[in-house]
Amino acid sequence: MRRLRRLVHLVLLCPFSKGLQQGRLPGLRIKYVLLVWLGIFVGSWMVYVHYSSYSELCRGHVCQVVICDQYHKGIISGSVCQDLCELQKVEWRTCLSSAPGQQVYSGLWQDKEVTIKCGIEEALNSKAWPDAVPRRELVLFDKPTRGTSIKEFREMILSFLKVNLGDLPTLPALVDQILLMADFNKDSRVSLAEAKSVWALLQRNEFLLLLSLQEKEHASRLLGYCGDLYLTEGIPHGSWHGAVLLPALRPLLPSVLHRALQQWFGPAWPWRAKIAIGLLEFVEELFHGSYGTFYMCETTLANVGYTATYDFKMADLQQVAPEATVRRFLQGRHCEQSSDCIYGRDCRAPCDRLMRQCKGDLIQPNLAKVCELLRDYLLPGAPADLREELGKQLRTCTTLSGLASQVEAHHSLVLSHLKTLLWREISNTNYS
């Protein structure tokens, strides 16, 4: 023990003793030591805080208990229920949740990589025991009620879609598809449990978007559901924020580091160009599609996913919103300045300062926000003979302004030029 104390004394105090013998200890060295220790302390504290919430952030077991409880009571049903709750054939793997209320896991079902999504807002209660079985049937699965006819249920769905997507002539066809999906066992009737499940699913923003964009190649395909839990195609490649980082660590990284990691660990530049073309095509799909116009209200590299062949796939539709929903939220909302008129993270509308109300039209179109994203995604590593022209076109694109609903002609022209420039660079190579 005495030798150990002496060794510690020599290691820790000798440098200071030497400094004292020389009459001073360099101030710069002290500053560096303090900064390092401060960084370690703050970093450790932040990691501890985020890890302490991990059990709340990743509660797939709670989600499964809730869903299966409702299934066994006959309250809900769906194409995945038997495999999930009786045969245990749905394998939950990595937690990808970024918020406690929306559980996201990678998984395996029928030998396919899938993404499992389930909302448990009503189930989470900070005062309840962590493993308590929540009861949501009175809140989430309350509609339709017993005695509702199929005609009345059809009208319920149609009214809901009109509010959220707008009064479009294509909605009756979408209602038919929803009712067809509800009858998962193909017995030509929709039971109360099937109706409750589909109605609960429609309350999930991403599920509504999946239905609206199901014919588009850049949105994930819906594979099955049980109650309001649903399965989609597996997480696309490129969603490194879910695959590489633990959920507790994601908020710790600044956006600059996110972009740097995407460039370091992302695909080669020609593949990035192909992915970018797919993203531009997705922007076209959102503009005046079969079920109206949609706005991207959180444009980040985290949502830039791609398949094994480097075709773009939208990794997360949570922050894509129908025009009707955005307008309903913003129009007439009290405001003092434009920063008061924001839906999601970056869907911004002008503020009428005279009336002190938000207007319904957005200032910045989808394409301008996507081009801001592509500047960080495409310019680093771009071929020297392309970089100047590409940078010029992306700058032009990011300056697109005016109301999002009034830039269709210019929007289409700029988008077409960008796609042509990128295709010309990779069209005669193996990357096309």
Task: Please give the DSSP secondary-structure letter assigned to residue 220.
Answer: P
In a domain, 30, yes or no: no
Least confident of 7-11, 57-61, 165-169: 7-11
Structural domain count of the chain: 2
Same domain, 228 and 300: no
DSSP 355-420: TTEE-SS-SS-HHHHHHHHHHHHHSTT--HHHHHHHHHHHHHHHT--S-GGG-HHHHHHHHHHHHH
Tell me: the pLDDT tens digits for 114-158?
999 998 764 434 333 333 334 444 457 888 998 899 999 999 999
Q: What whole-number distance in Å separates Cα of residue 420 and Cα of residue 403? A: 26
- Residues 330, 359: contact at Cβ < 8 Å? yes
Residue 391: C-alpha distances to residues 133, 280, 387, 397, 418 (Å): 55, 16, 6, 10, 10
Same domain, 343 and 259: yes
The reply to whether omega before 247 is within 30° of 0 (cis) is: no
Q: Please identify which residue in the block is written with the tokens 């009737």.
A: 189
Same domain, 416 and 305: yes
Same domain, 225 and 353: no
In a domain, 45, yes or no: no
Residue 271 burial (CB count, 10 A): 16
In a domain, 114, yes or no: yes
Same domain, 266 and 187: no
Same domain, 228 and 262: no
Tell me: the pLDDT tens digits for 249-292?
555 556 566 556 666 667 889 999 999 999 999 998 888 778 98
**Domain containing 255 — which CATH number?**
1.10.510
Instruction: Kindly report the pTM of this predicted structure.
Output: 0.77
In a domain, 63, yes or no: yes
Q: Which domain-ending residue is among 185, 204, 233?
A: 233
Same domain, 306 and 178: no
In a domain, 17, yes or no: no
Tell me: the pLDDT tens digits for 27-60?
556 766 677 777 776 666 565 555 555 567 888 8
Residue range(s) defining the domain that contains residue 313: 250-428
